[in-house]
Amino acid sequence: MIAKKLRAAATALVVGMAALAAATPADAAVRSAVGKPLQEAQALAGQGNYQAAMSKVKQAEAVGGLSAEEAKIVKQMKDYVSVRSGGSVGVDSAVGAQAKFDTDYRSGKYREVINDEELLRKYNVLNGNAQVVIAQAYYQLGDYKGCMAYANAHSGAGADMLKRGGLCAYKSGDDAQALDLALKLVAISPTPENWAQLLGQAERAKGLSDAQTLDIYRLKFLTGNMKGADDYFTLAQLLLAARLPFEAGAVVEKGQAAKLLVDQRAQRLVGLVKQNQTTDTAGFAKSLAAAQKASNGEELVKLGEDLTGQGKYADAVSTIQSGIAKGVKDTDNAQIRLAVAQFGAKQKPQAVSSLEKVKATPNGKILAKAWAAYIRGH
């Protein structure tokens, strides 16, 4: 963006130079007292003598009673010299400030780039693109914590800023900040690549429960991050182990449609899924009755999760809510199961509210935030 603006300024200056070259005292567009020092300034700038060139511009500027055309061409020449000098002279305009900023970065003067922030702000040209460059300057200096802090403070600059901040957080070993920035990134740019970064951060969390590992794979499945047949096998097997055969069936069907589950191992998996679905259907009513009589709500939450996998979302919501009311050990997982069922039932606000109640464990909070990012985006 900076380079684009400078090119635009250069184009305008070319037009201005053409007007200056054509101007004579006779046509009264530019008086000789103004035009001559400007022509000398142009020649001096071409020779690389920028200080002398800027002196000639100031000589022209000092002529009294400048017309609108004369003032315009004086400004164009001042900007021209400033840009040609890389901002080393005449930095008293937006163009000059941008020229210095751009030149400092290209020259590897990264500390100067960071200091240029105030200069850009002074001339009202400090935008998101410039802030990303400043974050990159911290990175080039190896100041990963500074980069991370800057990116976090200026996360509104967009996806590029969040990506840079996430990399710096990773480099500095701050997993919590890396995860926070990854969550912000998928909120504004939910691409499969950005989801992969977030889920990769989540997978690195210590002490993940089986339910939390399953949720990470579910989100991989939903966000286009399944890596070949092995991921489909893993997710289907995790679901079967969790007594969720209908959800496992949906995973297998998609794996088959993608031409990934096609070998004999896949056929055995298909048979196992169907067998588990038959058993689940035959015993569901009895299991539900027993769960309703139980002293706690653990089994009701599990059965509600199964109903979600069957696409019976309204029943899932009421069953899980009954389980939570009776009391469960893993309150975080119960709230996430409720949220997913509510999302399926098209109750998005309620789903997000349920996820906000996940507070018992750090890993639970991670998964709740990831699910919230997914639900808000769909």
pLDDT given at position 2: 37
Which carries the bigger pLDDT value, residue 256 or residue 74? 256
pLDDT given at position 49: 84
Q: Which domain holds residue 339?
A: 210-376
pLDDT given at position 40: 85
- Report the CATH number at residue 354: 1.25.40
Q: Which of 168, 203, 238 is the last residue of a domain?
A: 203
Q: Which of 173, 203, 233 is the last residue of a domain?
A: 203
Regarding whether 282 and 174 lie in a shared domain, the answer is no
Spatial distance between the Cα atoms of 84 and 43, rounded to a whole number of angstroms: 12
Q: What is the mean pLDDT of residues 85-109?
A: 84
103 inside domain: no
Six-digit token string for 203 = 């997978």
96 inside domain: no
Regarding whether 120 and 52 lie in a shared domain, the answer is no
Is residue 300 within 8 A of residue 319, CB to CB? The reply is: yes
Q: Which of 182, 203, 224 is the last residue of a domain?
A: 203
Least confident of 56-70, 120-134, 229-243: 56-70
Least confident of 40-44, 132-136, 222-226: 40-44
Which amino acid is present at 223? T
Regarding whether 272 and 325 lie in a shared domain, the answer is yes
100 inside domain: no
Regarding whether 144 and 67 lie in a shared domain, the answer is no
Mean pLDDT in the chain?
89
Above 70 in pLDDT, residue 119?
A: yes
Which residue, 122, 36, 43, is CA-closest to 73?
36
CA angle 153, 358, 319 (to 5 degrees): 145
pLDDT given at position 90: 66
Domain count, the chain: 3
Regarding whether 288 and 219 lie in a shared domain, the answer is yes
Give the H/E segment covering residue 211: helix 210-222
Regarding whether 369 and 254 lie in a shared domain, the answer is yes
Above 80 in pLDDT, residue 241?
A: yes
pLDDT given at position 72: 86
50 inside domain: yes
Regarding whether 246 and 351 lie in a shared domain, the answer is yes
pLDDT given at position 244: 98
Above 80 in pLDDT, residue 10?
A: no
352 inside domain: yes
pLDDT digits (tens, 9 = 90+) for 12-71: 444 444 444 444 333 447 888 888 888 888 888 888 888 878 778 888 888 888 888 888
What's the Cα-to-Cα distance from 317 to each of 108, 143, 299, 304, 345, rounded to whole Å?
A: 58, 48, 14, 7, 8
Regarding whether 351 and 250 lie in a shared domain, the answer is yes
104 inside domain: no
pLDDT digits (tens, 9 = 90+) for 317-365: 999 999 999 999 999 999 999 999 999 999 999 999 999 999 999 999 9
pLDDT given at position 140: 96
Regarding whether 372 and 288 lie in a shared domain, the answer is yes
Spatial distance between the Cα atoms of 166 and 313, rounded to a whole number of angstroms: 36
Regarding whether 248 and 369 lie in a shared domain, the answer is yes
Q: What is the mean pLDDT of residues 92-98?
A: 85
- pLDDT > 90 fraction of the chain, expressed in percent and rounded: 68
Regarding whether 119 and 61 lie in a shared domain, the answer is no
Regarding whether 80 and 167 lie in a shared domain, the answer is no
Spatial distance between the Cα atoms of 66 and 70, rounded to a whole number of angstroms: 6
What's the Cα-to-Cα distance from 230 to each of 125, 199, 201, 270, 355, rounded to whole Å?
A: 50, 17, 20, 15, 30
105 inside domain: no
Is residue 183 within 8 A of residue 370, CB to CB? The reply is: yes
| Residue 4 pLDDT grade (very low, low, confident, very high; cuts 50, 70, 90) | low
- Report the CATH number at residue 172: 1.25.40.10
102 inside domain: no
Spatial distance between the Cα atoms of 152 and 50, rounded to a whole number of angstroms: 39
Q: What is the mean pLDDT of residues 166-180?
A: 91
- Reduced to 3 states (helix: H, G, I; strand: E, B; else coil), residue 329 is coil
